[in-house]
């Protein structure tokens, strides 16, 4: 039987309940929620005057009511040491989501630790250390003392390059401005750590270098632009499942035509009609199906492109549009570099070497260099020539009266983790600049985002470009100590099988050494660890909220807090910054990451002074924070653009709508923000002029991809699904999720399944030259033959095992272009027999 909660009533929120601002801590959209808490021995009443919702709960509430919450939105948690009821429900007054919750965010309450209700009991509650052959509890001072001593000893012998760091750089849960600043100040301020990487890639680098190099910050529009656009272009993204409420609350109204009034209001005197959409994706995603439902098939153009060839499509679109003259000449003249300067940019020294950017230039030079005919593009992309022309028309053909068409382009992991990231990103931005679609209503060329953002750190310039390929260095035996902050390489890296083999071997060496010494003899312990490190061992410290897969190899676990257990600020995909207020206690002695970093800094300072390294120890001063707000004031408030206007008190007053960064001032106590970037036509370059990029096609760019494609039968495309947040770090402990998703799925064409003798739900092995993994087969009639799609980063079948180590010149991984063979492992396991294998696609 499918999972049911058998909850047939819930406590009612009393009028006296406390109300807290919450921004969903999962995806980039950052939906507004409110948390209500009240004492365990109280409840509201049915009468409208007796409950916080202000309605008569003795009656059935209508569709879209704000006066209902699901069992997943309820829990019993600790607040200031007391048990309290907690309800976290979507906020109807937040402009981001207008009261919509998603299958991820609307489970926030249930995804908190509750001793009383047995949810998320695997959260780490106390520091744990490798002692007597397993992980055992200790206190913060003891754990941090060992970490500091080993770290200092490694730095002594190997310099700071012996310290490897993996750390999140995002907002939302486990991230946020407080925590990026705390960790950043430690590793980029007190130290200058170079061997550092981010949670989802093997280096410390931007996912979107190209657009930044061109002077166009990647989050440059606002969510309302999706309501105003004549055409939306979605490239390598599946927003219904990965930016859910952005799609539902802002794209759908445009496709349905219900944003026409807004268009008339905001774009007076301009011909308007319901929006059209071009979706570039090899796969018929649920987004495509939903767009067809809303807009009708004739207003949706799905370009089911040959995987990895997006660059060619965008070069061809630029060529066609330029030849037709459907460009914004005034914008190009006023806001992009002139021809004379373009030539100089192209010939600057250093072009072409590893890590050197492709040439930036002016419009005419880019069009000349990128010239691609429709026929050529059709041949390489597998698309119909007439469909490419249609896309060009929808994107740029002037509207009635010669008015410029407003086109918003959104792209995400299909491009970011796709073939030739840098150039492809550049080719997309070229098109937006040529058509004047940046900084204007209904425009924008934006990444759609994964996590929320929340980055505030001292300069990372010392990391260099290209940045160190950290996972490769670890495989090669480099480094002596590894600090891991909310990253799980075992699930979210490429070449994962090899990485795990080596990482386990190296950390086991240290474990074996630790087993030979009594815990209480600190000096002997450090000596034993250092001996193992000299022989190739690695000491691993894992800061996380739950036991992770990489944590199985670690020697120290430090328990961290998440949003709501601490005050935490982030911004969403339209730069909307909010404060999630602390509404409950972290489990046990877990701490916000920023305060863990501060305590580690202090431990380092103490140990270094003991060792007589006074000058070095001095660098670790400035961590006297007692709250996360201290870290916020030291970091964002002091260092970020407009940060001086932003305080917790002001954010609290601005509720779930917050303001859009950067802040430009304060009016009547309210922070004034920036709805769109670049409205003045000045871009993020020294001279304010945006650059075009030369983006020639060079086939499959990353090492080993073309060979893999030739050798193995199936494309193993990969990505996320609606139900699961990120690598399931919390969802793996959710009965609701694990009942539905016990193993990762792999979508396969039914004829391919027949050929392999595989039935729905059967476990299959995906194997190639770099590794193997497993999934259950999901028959998918819309899947092309030999093109599969597998859930990424899932704990019970890690897709990264079969992704080779190939990266681009800036060490951006190419997860999407992966090929492998598939064979049946076993008939459907018991947990899969309960599952529905019917098509997820909505039909009428």
Partner 1 sequence: MKGCDLMVEVGRRRFLGGLGVAAAGAAASAATAPQAGAAPAPALVEYPSHHLANLSQLKTDEPLAVAYPDKDAPGVLIKLGTRVPGGAGPDGDVVGYSTVCPHKGFPLAYLKEDRTLNCPGHYGRYDCEKGGQQIWGHATQNLAQYALRVDAKGDIWAEGVDELLYGRLNNVL
402 binds, among ligand SF4, partner 1, none (CB under 5 to 8 A by kind): none
Contact between 103 and partner 1 by CB under 8 A: the answer reads yes
717 binds, among partner 1, ligand SF4, none (CB under 5 to 8 A by kind): none
For the CB of residue 712, give the shortest distance to partner 1 in the complex, in Å: 29
Spell out, one character per residue from 71 to 100, where the chain touches partner 1: x when CB under 8 A holds, - when not.
Answer: xxx--------------------------x
97 binds, among partner 1, ligand SF4, none (CB under 5 to 8 A by kind): ligand SF4
Contacting residues toward ligand SF4, per CB under 6 A: 24, 26-27, 29-31, 97, 101-102, 104-105, 244-245
Stretch that binds partner 1, among 106-114, 392-400, 496-504, 571-579 (CB under 8 A): 106-114
Contact between 116 and partner 1 by CB under 8 A: the answer reads no
Which one of 40, 64, 133, 476 is in contact with partner 1 (CB under 8 A)? 64
End-to-end CA distance of the chain: 27
Contact indicator for 207, 201 with CB cutoff of 8 Å? yes
For the CB of residue 27, give the shortest distance to ligand SF4 in the complex, in Å: 3
Contact between 33 and partner 1 by CB under 8 A: the answer reads no
Stretch that binds partner 1, among 59-67, 220-228, 584-592, 801-809 (CB under 8 A): 59-67
Spell out, one character per residue from 279 to 298, where the chain touches partner 1: x when CB under 8 A holds, - when not.
Answer: -------x--xx--xxxx--
For the CB of residue 755, give the shortest distance to partner 1 in the complex, in Å: 24
For the CB of residue 412, give the shortest distance to ligand SF4 in the complex, in Å: 13
Scanning the structure block, which residue is given the tokens 């950290």?
A: 470
Contact between 523 and partner 1 by CB under 8 A: the answer reads no
C-alpha span between 785 and 568 (Å, rounded): 46
- 542 sits in the region (left: phi over 0; alpha: psi -120 to 50; else beta) called beta
Contact indicator for 171, 387 with CB cutoff of 8 Å? no
E runs forming strands in 643-686: 659-660, 665-667, 670-672
CB-wise, 240 or 671, nearer to partner 1? 240
| Token pair recorded at residue 119 | 């949810």
For the CB of residue 763, give the shortest distance to partner 1 in the complex, in Å: 19
Stretch that binds partner 1, among 1-9, 124-132, 603-611, 696-704 (CB under 8 A): 1-9
107 binds, among ligand SF4, partner 1, none (CB under 5 to 8 A by kind): partner 1
Contact between 438 and partner 1 by CB under 8 A: the answer reads no
289 binds, among ligand SF4, partner 1, none (CB under 5 to 8 A by kind): partner 1
Contact indicator for 697, 380 with CB cutoff of 8 Å? yes
Residue 597: is it exposed, middle or buried by C-beta count within 10 angstroms (0-12/13-18/19+)?
Answer: buried
Scanning the structure block, which residue is given the tokens 């981001």?
A: 96
To which H or E segment does residue 542 belong?
A: strand 539-544
Packing angle of the helix pair 310-324, 374-381 (nearest 10 deg): 160
Contact indicator for 430, 312 with CB cutoff of 8 Å? no
CB-wise, 49 or 667, nearer to partner 1? 49
C-alpha span between 232 and 251 (Å, rounded): 8
781 binds, among partner 1, ligand SF4, none (CB under 5 to 8 A by kind): none
Strand 568-571 to strand 576-580: parallel, antiparallel, or no bridges (unpaired)? Answer: antiparallel
71 binds, among partner 1, ligand SF4, none (CB under 5 to 8 A by kind): partner 1
Give residue 191's Cα distance to chain centre: 26
Instruction: Give 305's DSSP letter.
Output: P
Stretch that binds partner 1, among 104-112, 275-283, 323-331, 395-403 (CB under 8 A): 104-112
Which one of 18, 19, 43, 713 is in contact with partner 1 (CB under 8 A)? 43
CB-wise, 103 or 502, nearer to ligand SF4? 103
Contact between 686 and partner 1 by CB under 8 A: the answer reads no
CB-wise, 275 or 587, nearer to partner 1? 275
Q: What's the longest Cα–Cα distance across the chain?
A: 83
26 binds, among partner 1, ligand SF4, none (CB under 5 to 8 A by kind): ligand SF4
The closest residue (CB) to ligand SF4 is 105
Which of these, 746, 718, 203, 748, lies nearest to 413 by C-alpha position?
718
Scan residues 246-265 and list those touching partner 1 (CB under 8 A): 248, 255-258
For the CB of residue 69, give the shortest distance to partner 1 in the complex, in Å: 7
Coil, strand or helix at 313:
helix
Q: How far is CA 475 from CA 201, 479, 488, 503, in A?
A: 15, 10, 15, 7
C-alpha span between 499 and 135 (Å, rounded): 22
Which of these, 208, 805, 204, 814, lies nearest to 465 by C-alpha position?
204
Contact indicator for 411, 425 with CB cutoff of 8 Å? yes
Polymer length of the chain? 844
For the CB of residue 452, give the shortest distance to ligand SF4 in the complex, in Å: 8
The per-residue b/e assignment along 155-181, b for 16 or more CB within 10 angstroms, e otherwise, is beebebbbbbbbbbbbbbbbbbbbbbb
Spell out, one character per residue from 619 to 658, where the chain touches partner 1: x when CB under 8 A holds, - when not.
Answer: ----------------------------------------
| Token pair recorded at residue 710 | 């030739």
4 binds, among ligand SF4, partner 1, none (CB under 5 to 8 A by kind): partner 1
Contact between 830 and partner 1 by CB under 8 A: the answer reads no
Q: How far is CA 251 from CA 145, 223, 248, 261, 667, in A?
A: 52, 9, 6, 15, 31
| Token pair recorded at residue 800 | 């990264």
Size of the site for partner 1 (CB under 8 A): 67
For the CB of residue 522, give the shortest distance to partner 1 in the complex, in Å: 48
24 binds, among ligand SF4, partner 1, none (CB under 5 to 8 A by kind): ligand SF4
C-alpha span between 326 and 431 (Å, rounded): 11
For the CB of residue 35, give the shortest distance to partner 1 in the complex, in Å: 16
5 binds, among partner 1, ligand SF4, none (CB under 5 to 8 A by kind): partner 1
Coil, strand or helix at 584:
coil
Contact indicator for 241, 448 with CB cutoff of 8 Å? no
For the CB of residue 192, give the shortest distance to partner 1 in the complex, in Å: 45
For the CB of residue 604, give the shortest distance to partner 1 in the complex, in Å: 43
For the CB of residue 819, give the shortest distance to partner 1 in the complex, in Å: 27
CB-wise, 128 or 248, nearer to ligand SF4? 248
C-alpha span between 683 and 297 (Å, rounded): 37
Which one of 57, 280, 409, 601 is in contact with partner 1 (CB under 8 A)? 57
Scan residues 204-243 and list those touching partner 1 (CB under 8 A): 240
Strand 134-137 to strand 445-447: parallel, antiparallel, or no bridges (unpaired)? Answer: unpaired
Q: Which residues sit opposite 446 in a β-bridge?
A: 410
CB-wise, 450 or 635, nearer to ligand SF4? 450
| Token pair recorded at residue 549 | 């897969």
Strand 445-447 to strand 407-411: parallel, antiparallel, or no bridges (unpaired)? Answer: parallel
Scanning the structure block, which residue is given the tokens 């310099």?
A: 159
Stretch that binds partner 1, among 24-32, 68-76, 127-135, 617-625 (CB under 8 A): 68-76
Which of these, 236, 235, 229, 250, lies nearest to 100 by C-alpha position?
250
Which of these, 22, 12, 21, 29, lies nearest to 102 by C-alpha position?
29
Scan residues 724-753 and list those touching partner 1 (CB under 8 A): 736, 740
For the CB of residue 95, give the shortest distance to ligand SF4 in the complex, in Å: 13
What is the contact surface with partner 1 in residues (CB under 8 A)? 1-10, 12, 14, 42-46, 50, 57-65, 68-73, 100-103, 106-107, 110, 240, 244, 248, 255-258, 286, 289-290, 293-296, 722, 736, 740, 834-836, 838-844
């Amino acid at each position: 039987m499918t999972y049911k909660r058998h909850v047939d009533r819930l406590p009612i929120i009393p009028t006296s309940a406390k109300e807290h601002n919450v921004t969903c801590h999962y995806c980039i959209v950052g939906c507004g929620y409110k948390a209500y808490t009240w004492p365990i021995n109280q409840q509201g009443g049915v009468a409208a005057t007796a409950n916080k919702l202000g309605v008569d709960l003795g009656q059935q509430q209508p569709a879209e009511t704000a006066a209902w919450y699901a069992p997943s939105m309820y829990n019993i948690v600790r607040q200031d040491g007391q048990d309290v009821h907690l309800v976290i429900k979507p906020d109807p007054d937040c402009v981001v989501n207008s009261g919509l919750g998603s299958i991820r965010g609307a489970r926030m309450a249930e995804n908190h630790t509750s001793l009383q209700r047995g949810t998320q009991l695997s959260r780490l509650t106390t520091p744990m250390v490798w002692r007597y052959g397993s992980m055992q509890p200790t206190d913060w001072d003891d754990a941090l003392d060992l970490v500091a001593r080993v770290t200092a000893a490694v730095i002594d012998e190997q310099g700071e390059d012996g310290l490897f760091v993996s750390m999140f750089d995002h907002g939302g849960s486990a991230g946020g401005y407080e925590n990026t600043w705390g960790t950043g100040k430690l590793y980029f301020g007190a130290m200058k750590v170079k061997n550092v990487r981010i949670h989802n890639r093997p280096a410390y680098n931007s996912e979107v270098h190209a657009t930044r190099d061109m002077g166009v910050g990647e989050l440059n529009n606002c969510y309302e632009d999706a309501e105003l656009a004549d055409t939306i272009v979605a490239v390598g993204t599946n927003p219904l499942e990965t930016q859910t409420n952005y799609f539902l609350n802002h794209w759908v109204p445009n496709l349905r035509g219900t944003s026409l009034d807004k268009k008339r209001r905001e774009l007076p005197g301009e011909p308007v009609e319901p929006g059209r959409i071009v979706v570039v994706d090899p796969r018929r995603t649920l987004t495509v199906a939903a767009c067809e439902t809303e807009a009708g098939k004739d207003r949706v153009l799905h370009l089911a492109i040959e995987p990895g060839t997006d660059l060619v499509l965008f070069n061809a679109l630029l060529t066609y549009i330029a030849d037709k003259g459907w460009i914004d000449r005034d914008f190009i003249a006023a806001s992009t570099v002139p021809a004379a300067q373009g030539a100089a940019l192209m010939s600057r020294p250093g072009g072409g070497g590893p890590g050197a950017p492709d040439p930036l230039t002016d419009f005419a030079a880019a069009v000349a260099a990128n010239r691609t005919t429709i026929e050529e593009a059709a041949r390489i992309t597998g698309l119909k020539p007439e469909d490419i022309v249609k896309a060009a028309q929808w994107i740029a053909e002037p509207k009635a009266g010669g008015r410029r068409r407003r086109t918003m382009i959104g792209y995400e992991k299909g491009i970011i983790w796709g073939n030739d990231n840098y150039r492809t990103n550049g080719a997309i931005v070229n098109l937006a600049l040529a058509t004047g679609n940046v900084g204007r209503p209904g425009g924008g060329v934006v990444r759609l985002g994964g996590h929320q953002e929340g980055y505030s750190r001292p300069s990372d310039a010392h990391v260099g470009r290209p940045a160190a390929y950290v996972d490769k260095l670890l495989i090669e035996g480099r480094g002596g100590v590894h600090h891991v902050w909310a990253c799980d390489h075992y699930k979210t890296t490429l070449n994962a099988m090899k990485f795990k083999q080596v990482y386990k071997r190296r950390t086991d060496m240290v474990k074996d050494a630790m087993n030979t010494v009594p815990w209480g003899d600190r000096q002997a312990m450090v000596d034993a660890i250092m001996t193992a490190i000299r022989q190739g061992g690695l000491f691993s410290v894992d800061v996380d909220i739950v036991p992770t897969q990489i944590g199985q190899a670690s020697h120290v676990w430090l328990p961290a807090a998440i949003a709501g257990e601490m005050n935490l600020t982030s911004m969403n995909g339209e730069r909307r910054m909010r404060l999630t207020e602390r509404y409950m206690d972290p489990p046990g002695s877990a701490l916000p990451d920023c305060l863990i970093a501060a305590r580690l800094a202090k431990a380092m300072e103490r140990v270094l002074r003991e060792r007589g390294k006074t000058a070095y120890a001095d660098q670790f001063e400035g961590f006297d924070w007692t709250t996360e707000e201290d870290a916020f004031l030291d970091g964002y408030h002091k260092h970020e653009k407009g940060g001086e206007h932003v305080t917790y008190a002001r954010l609290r007053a601005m509720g779930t709508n917050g303001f859009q960064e950067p802040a430009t001032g304060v009016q009547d106590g309210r922070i004034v923000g920036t709805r769109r970037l670049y409205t003045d036509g000045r871009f993020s370059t020294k001279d304010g002029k945006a650059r075009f990029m030369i983006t020639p096609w060079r086939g499959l760019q990353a090492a080993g991809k073309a060979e893999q494609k030739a050798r193995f039968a199936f494309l193993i495309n990969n990505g996320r699904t609606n139900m699961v947040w990120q690598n399931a770090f919390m969802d793996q402990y959710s009965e609701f999720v694990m009942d539905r998703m016990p193993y990762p799925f792999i979508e396969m064409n039914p004829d391919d399944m027949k050929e392999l003798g595989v039935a729905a739900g059967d476990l299959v092995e995906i194997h190639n030259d770099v590794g193997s993994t497993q999934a259950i087969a999901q028959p998918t009639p819309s899947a092309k033959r030999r093109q599969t799609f597998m859930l990424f980063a899932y704990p019970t079948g890690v897709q990264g095992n079969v992704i080779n180590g190939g990266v681009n010149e800036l060490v951006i991984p190419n997860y999407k272009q992966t090929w492998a063979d598939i064979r049946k492992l076993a008939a459907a396991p018991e947990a899969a027999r309960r599952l529905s294998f019917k098509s997820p696609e909505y039909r009428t």
